[in-house]
């Protein structure tokens, strides 16, 4: 391994944060945030619905934001993963 590959790792070796998806979801904001993560050295992010989500879980706004993030990742050479183990997401206040 040379120093260049260690200091500037390929996308597959970079970290990816859990990305708390909450509030009202807007596609342009999801794309902006994901692009920002990639621009700052991450490989992408784990799209992770959390408490505070105001858009309908798995609704049209949720998928529009996810699709915008995926498109931004593709354009930037990054990745988006789904993380779905938040038990609170099935509460009546989040799925309406």
Mind listing the pLDDT tens digit for each residue in 32-76? 999 999 999 989 999 998 888 899 888 999 999 999 999 999 999
Per the confidence metrics, is the pTM higher than 0.75? yes
Question: Any idea how long the chain is?
Answer: 96
With respect to residue 44, please indicate whether it lies within any of the assigned structural domains: yes
Helices 27-39 and 60-76: angle between axes, nearest 10 degrees: 30
Which residue from 11, 13, 7, 25 is spatially nearest to 73, judged by alpha carbons? 11
> What's the Rg (C-alpha) of the chain?
15
- Number of domains present in the structure of the chain: 1
Q: Identify the pLDDT of residue 64.
A: 97
Rounded (to 5) percent helix, strand, coil in the chain: 45, 20, 35
List, in sequence order, every residue forming a beta bridge with 82; answer none if it has no partner. Answer: 47
Q: Is residue 68 in some structural domain?
A: yes
Distance from chain centroid for Cα 79: 8
Which domain does 67 fall in, by range? 16-90
Residue 26 has pLDDT above 90, yes or no: yes
């Amino acid at each position: 391994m040379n120093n260049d590959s260690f200091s500037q790792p390929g996308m597959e070796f970079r970290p990816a944060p859990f990305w708390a998806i909450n509030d009202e979801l807007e596609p342009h904001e999801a794309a902006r945030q994901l692009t920002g993560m990639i621009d700052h050295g991450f490989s992408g992010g784990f799209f992770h619905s959390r408490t505070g989500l105001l858009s309908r879980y798995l609704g049209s706004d949720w998928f529009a934001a996810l699709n915008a993030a995926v498109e931004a990742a593709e354009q930037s050479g990054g990745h988006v993963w789904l993380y779905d183990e938040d038990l609170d997401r099935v509460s009546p206040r989040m799925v309406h």
